[in-house]
A = this chain, B = another copy of it.
Amino acid sequence: MLTKNLKNIKLTDNVFAPRQAVAVTSTLPACIHQCEITGRIDAFKLNWKEGDPNKPHIFWDSDVAKVIEGLAQLLMIHPNEALAKKLDDIVELIISAQQENGFLNSYFTQFEQGKQWDVLGGNHVLYCAGHLMEAAVAYYELTGKRNFLDAMARYADHIASVFGPEEGKHKGYPGHEEIELALVKMYRTTGEKRFLDLAKHFVDVRGTEPNFFETVEQIPRERLIILQAHKPAREQTEADGHAVRALYLYCAMADIAIETGDQELLANVYKIFDNATQKRMYITGGVGTSGNGERFTYDYDLPNPDAYTESCAAIALCMFAKRLLEHTNDSKYAEVLERVLYNNGISGISVNGDDFIYNNYLEVRKERNIQRTKWIGCACCPTNYSRYIPQLGMYCYSENNTMLRIDVPAAAVISNDSYEVAISGGYPYEGNVAVDIVRGGTFTLALRIPAWCKNYTLKLNGETQNVKTEKGYWILNRTWQPGDKITLDLEITTTVVYANPMINADIGKAAIQRGAIVYCLESVDNESVPLPTVRINPDAEFKLSAVEGLPEGTVALRFMAEAADAREDLYSTEPLTWHPVELCAIPFALWQNRGISDMQVYSAVKQ
């Protein structure tokens, strides 16, 4: 899972590749611009004075770090001189803010000096450090220049001089996890095991007794779960608390368990993943039900209009799923990954690339006046998109010189020292996947057969294969010749999907899914029908259709359904009566790209 390989994966599909194209022209320039005009970049000049606008804030460094991490990764696939120059300048400025002892934080160097380790539950200082480390790794992967990486190694060493299991050292750990996974990245990039050790320390100490946050920082016991500090992190087996913090922690736990061969920890990580995705995940791949603590709550608590489902949490779930997929080669993780990628994963960013939304509700009424905005004061989501969009290829494919694993067969060209392979076809809207060996070599090719597909045909050089799968993948190791061709024809049907009946919000309802795409109804396409009153018929014929105002190639669905007859009474003993209506559904990921609309994923379903 090395993002340096991003340059080997060039997406050419019609869902993700256009997002990356607008990242060059829109997303990244917009996020850099916002970081500039809000003072986030200037904060590293360390010269803010009383009376100046834009007083630096404790977590601004993380925003800049995520943007430049994303910028470095975007430049791996879309080289751009002007943006590369901008990147160098920002990196130089950041490095210039580093203190003698290695500390680097634009807020605590200027304000509350010396207090940076005092309120770890809320001050985000280690979180900012982690994001700077991730940015440094990306910058090094892009440029080969060690300046930023070395600076961050010094910062990590400084942190290691403060925190650790040794007597006399600070026994705290971050309130917002992030540095743990970043330290593993530092270790993987530099080979310096001390970074892995520090990451492991932060995980090992988390939630142990006497509880640091409770006893030192006076955080009430019932709030500890929000910080994943209610019990030892190593003993946790459910997805709990603030969703983004939780998932960043689980990523680190997975990384550390894998790097150290810690099977006990890994077993718990698997349990957490299962809990998160089999009990606490929306059909869209969204997680983090409640806005009160931005958190996971309890099993099957998945209300639709109140789905908090922060965009960052979906991104973090991709990060987590990818790690376990890499380690296991089990398509169970790719199934979740794909669900997020095509649904909640891109619903928080507009098609034009510079309108963002924090929450990915599954039901919205116009009256709530929820709309995308150019920036968000708490800018974690826009800045996470800055790096997630460039990384999309890495979430679809895994490659090295001896292996190509096709997890999500979005059209792309994969090339490395050993081979070049072109994947084409209209996935995810069409099921015609072709894999052409452009430049041959000896390597293992693994091709996922999506679990949602019941009928498919796989041919190798025109010959239909009797497919046996291993953990959901068709796998063939051989010396591939240029001109070798695999075709996978997946039957993509449109079906209604029923939620587990323990989800009371959805009982009596169903969603519509076609292949990997979850659909929604928007009132802009269905102006004559009050959406709440809709009842869908599982046997309806769903006709593929184009729709205005959405990207070319988008497949909308037109179908007959029913709507309840209007009535005056708020409550009545009379059963609802129905009349036929024609509806148009669009991919959930594309909601609210045409102004404010009513929207819903679930509708009543005919039984």
A573 (CB) vs chain B CBs: closest residue? B495
Q: Which residues of B contact A530 (CB under 8 A)?
A: 501-502
Q: Which residues of B contact A368 (CB under 8 A)?
A: 298
A280 (CB) vs chain B CBs: closest residue? B570
**Could you say which of B365, B496, B499, B573 contacts A496, with CB atoms under 8 Å apart?**
B573
Indicate whether A538 reaches chain B with its CB closer than 8 angstroms: yes
Q: Which residues of B contact A496 (CB under 8 A)?
A: 573
Q: With A303-B306, A502-B532 given, name 7 new contacts (CB 8 A).
A: A298-B367, A298-B368, A499-B570, A501-B530, A501-B566, A507-B532, A508-B508
CA distance A500 to B303 in the complex (A): 19
Nearest CB of B to A272, in Å: 15
Q: CB distance A575 to B532 under 8 Å?
A: no
Nearest CB of B to A304, in Å: 8
Q: CB distance B531 to A301 under 8 Å?
A: no
Chosen A-B contacts, 18 in total, with CB atoms closer than 8 Å, are A277-B570, A278-B569, A300-B532, A305-B504, A305-B505, A496-B573, A501-B532, A501-B565, A501-B567, A504-B532, A505-B505, A507-B532, A507-B533, A507-B535, A507-B576, A507-B604, A508-B604, A538-B575
CA distance A574 to B452 in the complex (A): 12
A549-572 Cβ-contact flags toward B at 8 Å (1 or 0): 000000000000001111111111
Q: Which residues of B contact A500 (CB under 8 A)?
A: 567, 569-572
CA distance A195 to B8 in the complex (A): 81
A303 (CB) vs chain B CBs: closest residue? B305
**Number of A residues contacting the other chain (C-beta, 8 Å)?**
59
**Could you say which of B283, B297, B499, B509 contacts A367, with CB atoms under 8 Å apart?**
B297
CA distance A572 to B513 in the complex (A): 10
A279, A568, A570, A605: most-surrounded residue (chain B CB, <10 A): A570
Q: Which residues of B contact A607 (CB under 8 A)?
A: 575, 606-607
Q: Which residues of B contact A566 (CB under 8 A)?
A: 501-502
Q: CB distance B564 to A507 under 8 Å?
A: yes
Q: CB distance B501 to A570 under 8 Å?
A: no
Q: Which residues of B contact A509 (CB under 8 A)?
A: 507-508
A495, A564, A568, A573: most-surrounded residue (chain B CB, <10 A): A573
Indicate whether A544 reaches chain B with its CB closer than 8 angstroms: no
Q: Which residues of B contact A376 (CB under 8 A)?
A: none
Chain A interface (Cβ within 8 Å of chain B)?
Answer: 277-279, 281, 283, 297-301, 303, 305-306, 363, 365, 367-368, 495-505, 507-509, 511, 513, 530-533, 535, 538, 563-576, 600, 603-607
The verdict on A508 contacting B605 (CB below 8 Å), with A501-B576, A575-B538 known, is yes
Q: Which residues of B contact A299 (CB under 8 A)?
A: 367
Q: Which residues of B contact A497 (CB under 8 A)?
A: 571-573
A502, A566, A571, A575: most-surrounded residue (chain B CB, <10 A): A571
A297, A500, A533, A568: most-surrounded residue (chain B CB, <10 A): A500
CA distance A496 to B575 in the complex (A): 9
Nearest CB of B to A535, in Å: 7
The verdict on A363 contacting B575 (CB below 8 Å), with A570-B279, A570-B281 known, is no
CA distance A605 to B563 in the complex (A): 17
Nearest CB of B to A536, in Å: 11
Q: CB distance B498 to A571 under 8 Å?
A: yes
Nearest CB of B to A342, in Å: 14
Q: CB distance B600 to A504 under 8 Å?
A: yes
**Could you say which of B278, B303, B365, B575 contacts A498, with CB atoms under 8 Å apart?**
B575
Q: Which residues of B contact A303 (CB under 8 A)?
A: 303, 305-306
Nearest CB of B to A605, in Å: 7
CA distance A565 to B498 in the complex (A): 13
CA distance A72 to B567 in the complex (A): 45
A278, A495, A576, A603: most-surrounded residue (chain B CB, <10 A): A576
CA distance A567 to B501 in the complex (A): 8
Q: Which residues of B contact A504 (CB under 8 A)?
A: 305, 363, 531-532, 600
Q: Which residues of B contact A564 (CB under 8 A)?
A: 501, 507
CA distance A502 to B529 in the complex (A): 11
A306 (CB) vs chain B CBs: closest residue? B306
Q: Which residues of B contact A297 (CB under 8 A)?
A: 367
